[in-house]
Structure 1
Amino acid sequence: MDMMTMVQRLTAVYGISGREAAVAEEIRRMAEPYADEIWTDRLGNLICHKKGEGPKMMFAAHLDSIGLIVTHIESAGFLRVAKIGGVRPEKILHSLVRFENGTIGTIASSGTDLGKLSMEDLYVDIGAESREEAEKKVSVGDAAVYMGQPVQTGTTLFSPYLDDRLGCVILLKTMELAADSPNDLYFVFTVQEEVGLCGAHTAAHGIVPDYGIAVDVTCTDDVPGSRHTVSAALGKGAGIKVMDGSLMCHGAVVERLKELAAGHGIPAQPDLMSAGGTDAGPMHISHDGVLAGGISIPCRGIHSPVEMADLGDVDACIRLAAAFASSRLE
């Protein structure tokens, strides 16, 4: 299956944090030809195992997406909402959202100062004229995700939820390319990353890997007004994670990824983030420690309704992940 088809299929599936089962099922169907066994753990992580005699490697990409959850329905039918994950009010105003049952709405604001916009200012308008009408479509506790479709222009990809459905695509392509790997490979599609890196913690505890690689998006340092708190740039290749807000990556993993990139002619760049975490964090401190790092996809507009990535960078991430999965490590 080509990469764009995979992106289209995965971004179309509803899968907000805590309710990722439909995304996991879609990935299961894609992964079946490349895994020796597949199962879902108690928390909901989808684990695809390719058996091998070498070191145990865990690759993680998260299934879940951020969004909004209904906290109150007003008498006029408008929905007050809270955030699930890292939602910033100023990034989502006037965006379309959809609920799991297909109900569609738009995000509006009762506030007047956009510079001081808070979640309490936001509401979702689903076109209802009363609480009774709204309650026929939506209940308190229902959650909404951004609407939108992937669009490719040249090598540029625009889409909601590249974070981290694009990481899931990279894991799937890595499974295909690393078919002859001698290592014991676990490709884990984790749940509830956006609300606390939860799934990777339990998955790593169960798998007990020797090595852990998180595949996720990373912010870019190539936009106007950048404060240089991150290092990656769009179109410059795969990000080799050095640090983020959840860990300092193990030096041996960082160096091995650099060596593999240079040896295979894969464009790569250092990835440093002063804040924000990835699944590498909980893997790193599982049991008595895991040699963990990350392969990162430079992405603009992270956590907005339209994120942006370069397909050349995605290809570099796939090649680097496959090279690491197939390499001989002690």
Structure 2
Amino acid sequence: MDTTMIKNILGAYGPSGREDKAAEAIKQYVAPYADEVYRDAMGNLIAHKRGTSGKKIMLSAHMDQIGFIVVAIDEKGFLRVARVGGVNPIISTAREVVFENGVKGVTYFENTAKHGVNEATFNELYIDIGCASREEAEKKVAIGDMAVYVTNYVELGERAACGAMDDRICCAIVAEAMKKMKSEHDVYAVFTVQEEVGCRGGSPAAYAIEPDLNISLDVTGVGDIPECSRMAVSLGCGPTVKVMDSSVIVPPVVRAFIEAAAEEDGIPYQREVLRAGGTDTGAIQRTRGGILSGCISVPTRYIHTPVETVDMKDVDNA
């Protein structure tokens, strides 16, 4: 895949509910291969490639990323924040973050000398943007502004680490699929919003499109790192075909369809049973009277950190 495209999509600002810049970054790569591209009322980016058979296929990947929202500014100019999505307070200390307007800051916690970072909570997290007073800080940011981790793409041999792999790497995969795809069916590439805060974007898009089949693409955890939960998924062994997560049990007919397609093309794959966490797959499956829905996942280490790590062979095979 095009590394420049991947880096551009990963680097676009786009926390949940603020996905406009991410949508613009993705749009430039899908627009040349679609008959129409539009945003719906939720903000989902939808690229439609017309077919001739009358069937509708939906490919979905969420474009939002986790982040922080400013809830207060103290008298010394420090920003008090709450999480947007599954941000881990322990992971969040001493990190560089950036706001939509380009203002950068660093995160830290109160009382680390007293009880250690491992016991810190979000009530003690703050962002330092280099200001000495509330008045100075208010010239740069406002209550309700959101920050995200600064992305830094690092190549690790055949692997790569960067923030926002969840789920921008799958947005890049869907964009690449639109470029290469030849199908008699109507194909809708849907880049959804607000997945990280409750899978809110996928269902409205599916309700409007009413697809015959949805295939979501997202990242999934692995069982190949020290002291992790047992899971039969490893980097470099192929993308996964979801069997179940906390939000969905994939219909066997859909899972078999995906596996047969992989076997026909000689693509290695793994089966995924995710004990905690869900994706747009479940929300889309429960739309209208029910939609056949499955999921292909990219095995990813260190999810919801600034160093989410994938194997590029898995990305290419997805």
- Which deviations, in whole Å up to 9, do the C-alpha atoms of 1:250-293 show, x marking residues without a partner? 11111111111112110100111111111111111111111111
> What is the CA-CA distance between 1:29 and the residue it aligns to?
1.6
Partner residue, 1:322: none
- What runs of 5+ residues in structure 2 fail to find an aligned partner? none
**Distance in structure 1 (CA, Å) of the matches to 2:50 and 2:19:** 26
Verify the 8 A CA contact 1:92 1:305 in the aligned structure 2.
Answer: no
One-letter identity of the residue aligned with 2:17? G
Are 2:132 and 1:133 aligned?
Answer: no
Please list, as runs of the form range in 1=range in 2, the aligned pairs for 1:251-270 lying within 5 A after superposition.
Answer: 251-270=252-271
**2:79 matched to which residue of 1?**
79
Secondary structure at 1:24's aligned position in 2?
Answer: helix
Equivalent residues in 2 for 1:272-311 (5 A)?
272-311=273-312
Superposed, 1:85-104 pairs within 5 Å as 85-104=85-104
How far is 1:160 from its partner? Answer: 0.8
**Which SS does the other structure have where 1:80 is aligned?**
strand
1:32 Cα deviation (Å)?
A: 1.4
Matches of 2:57 and 2:223 in 1, distance apart? 30
Matched letter for residue 15 of structure 1: G
Farther off after superposition, 307-316 or 11-20: 11-20
CA contact (8 A) 1:37 1:48 kept: yes
Post-superposition shift, 1:111?
3.0
CA contact (8 A) 1:241 1:293 kept: yes
Is the CA contact (8 Å cut-off) linking 1:155 and 1:311 kept in structure 2?
yes
Tell me, yes or no, if the aligned pair for 2:151 and 2:164 is still in contact at 8 Å: no
Query: What is the one-letter code of the residue matched to 1:207?
Result: I
Per the alignment, residue 201 of structure 1 pairs with: 203
Moved more, 45-54 or 73-82: 45-54
Partner of 2:189: 187
**CA positional deviation for 1:184:** 1.5
CA contact (8 A) 1:8 1:149 kept: no
2:49 is matched with: 50
**If the length of structure 1 is used for normalisation, what is the TM-score?**
0.93
Match of 2:40 in 1: 41
1:212 pairs, out of 211, 214, 222, with: 214
Q: What is the rounded CA distance, in whole Å, between the counterparts of 1:101 and 1:39 in structure 2?
A: 24
Aligned counterparts of 2:140 and 2:58: Cα–Cα separation in 1 = 41
Deviation at 1:153, TM superposition (A): 2.7
Asked if structure 1 preserves the Cα contact closer than 8 Å seen for 2:207 and 2:288, the reply is: yes
Quick one: distance in 1 between partners of 2:290 and 2:247? 14
> Using the alignment, how far apart are the partners of 2:18 and 2:255 within structure 1?
33
RMSD: 1.1
- For the residues of structure 1 that align with 2:111 and 2:262, how far apart are their CA atoms? 49
Task: Specify every segment of 5 or more residues in structure 1 that has no aligned partner in the other structure, as ranges.
Answer: 318-330
Which one-letter code corresponds to 1:163 in the other structure? Answer: D
Query: Where in structure 2 are the equivalents of 1:93-172 lying within 5 Å?
Result: 93-112=93-112, 113=115, 114-172=117-175
2-structure distance, mates of 1:9, 1:148: 10
Deviation for aligned residue 1:149: 2.1
- 1:227, 1:40 → 2: CA distance? 38
How many residues of Structure 1 are paired with residues of Structure 2 in the alignment?
A: 314
Q: Which amino acid aligns with 2:26?
A: I
Separation in structure 1 between the aligned mates of residue 118 and residue 148 of structure 2, nearest angstrom: 24
Q: Distance in 1 between matches of 2:180 and 2:201?
A: 25
Question: Aligned residues: percent identity?
Answer: 44
